[in-house]
Amino acid sequence: MTPTDPADRRLALITGASAGIGQALARVYAEHGWDLVLTARRADRLEALADELKLRAGIEAIVIPEDLADPAAPARLVEAIEARGRTVDALINNAGFSRTEGFQAVPWEQHQAMLQVMLIAPVELAHRLSPGMVDRHFGRILNVASLAGYAPATGGDTLYGPIKSFLIKASCGLHLEMYDRDVHVTALCPGYTWSEFHDVNGQRQAVAHSTPEWIWMGPDEVARAGYEASEANRAICVPGAPNKVVSAALKILPDDWTLALAARHGERLGRL
Ligand SMILES: NC(=O)c1ccc[n+]([C@@H]2O[C@H](COP(=O)([O-])OP(=O)(O)OC[C@H]3O[C@@H](n4cnc5c(N)ncnc54)[C@H](OP(=O)(O)O)[C@@H]3O)[C@@H](O)[C@H]2O)c1
């Protein structure tokens, strides 16, 4: 039976819950009885999702809008949760975006925002929240990285892949540190996934023309795979058979070959 006192209920903090994979993860965690803290910039989207999940799953869903590009946001988020008398049992670092116009063409502030949202904020949140998880002998950290973290960066999108590589490697280190402390740490590495990601970076048409339909996954499938991998305490989860083949190939092919493949992919996307 699920405890009725909120202080005894499991709580998952999901960043980037207003769309795509984050929204799907919120639905999966709610289905499994978790209360939620939903965060992103678009408060109206978060409120609509919270209302849906409260009604459908009978959970508590707290909305705390934040812009994670603000370096003060992670601390503010943690304080706002503590002020409600709740503790975070699962941290889902999912918020993300990419800029594909080329390294020089993108203003520095945008590069900085990418580094802050996808690299610093996830690590800071893990650093702030994992001690409580260790003390309570229960915790989950699910970092939404990408298959791109295994590939050389695509030209034009220079920082995205390296940021995701960092997240995979940092996740693996934390997985090892936390393994015997009842805290599961997992890097989820999706490949092409239907969401708003490619609308936001303006690449919808280009990716639709340069990738086969079968390589795409739905956000719900990706979220389910991530949830199961986290519960099973797997260090890395690459969802979907085609993505598993691609990640295996990227690990065994010589660097020159993967770089040539990345160059070809960049040309087909019109980035080089
Ligand atoms: N789609 C793919 O093909 C794919 C593949 C591999 C990995 N991924 C990764 O999956 C994760 C989720 O992406 P998605 O595909 O679901 O994309 P999406 O549909 O565009 O969703 C991105 C989410 O991130 C949030 N976000 C972006 N900038 C933010 C900021 N400054 N502060 C707070 N939240 C911010 C957005 O919310 P607001 O705009 O409301 O702030 C939104 O909720 C990302 O980390 C992405 O890198 C995606």
Contact 154, 262 (CB under 8 A): yes
SS3 at position 50: helix
pLDDT band at residue 241 under the 50/70/90 scheme: very high
Averaged confidence pLDDT in the chain: 95
Q: How far apart are CA 229 and CA 174, in angstroms?
A: 15
User: pLDDT for 106-121, tens place per residue?
Assistant: 999 999 999 999 999 9
Q: Strand, helix or coil at 78?
A: helix
Sign of CA dihedral 171, 172, 173, 175: positive
* In the predicted structure, residue 1 carries a pLDDT above the cut 90: no
Mean pLDDT of 169-192: 97
Residue 192 designated active-site: no
Instruction: Tell me the C-alpha distance between 231 and 179, whole Å.
Output: 13
Q: What is the position in ligand 1's atom list of the atom closest to the CA of 68?
A: 32
pLDDT at residue 2 greater than cutoff 60: no
Q: Residue 149 corresponds to which amino acid?
A: G
* CATH number 3.90.1490.10 is the correct assignment for the domain at 6-268: no
For the stretch 211-227, pLDDT in tens is 999 999 999 999 999 99
How far does residue 27's CA lie from ligand 1's centre (Å)?
16
**Candidates 150, 160, 192, 227; catalytic one:** 160
Model confidence pLDDT, tens digit, residues 93-151: 999 999 999 999 999 999 999 999 999 999 999 999 999 999 999 999 999 999 999 99
Give CA–CA dist 76/91, Å, rounded: 15
Would you list the domain boundaries of the chain? 6-268
Tell me how far the alpha carbon of residue 228 lies from the centroid of ligand 1, in angstroms.
21
Question: Closest ligand 1 atom, CA of 118?
Answer: 45
pLDDT at 8: 81
Query: Atom of ligand 1 at shortest distance to CA of 195?
Result: 19
Phi, psi of 63, deg, nearest 5: -105, 125
Task: Answer for the pair 145, 229: CB distance below 8 angstroms, yes or no.
Answer: no
Q: Which residues of 63-95 are buried (b: 16+ CB within 10 A; e: fewer)?
A: bbbbebbeeebbeebbeebeeeebbbbbbbbbb
Reported as a single tens digit per residue, the pLDDT across 9-39 is 999 999 999 999 999 999 999 999 999 999 9
Regarding the beta carbon of 68 and ligand 1, being less than 6 Å apart is answered yes
Residue 67 scores a pLDDT above 80: yes
Local structure of residue 18 (DSSP, 8 states): T
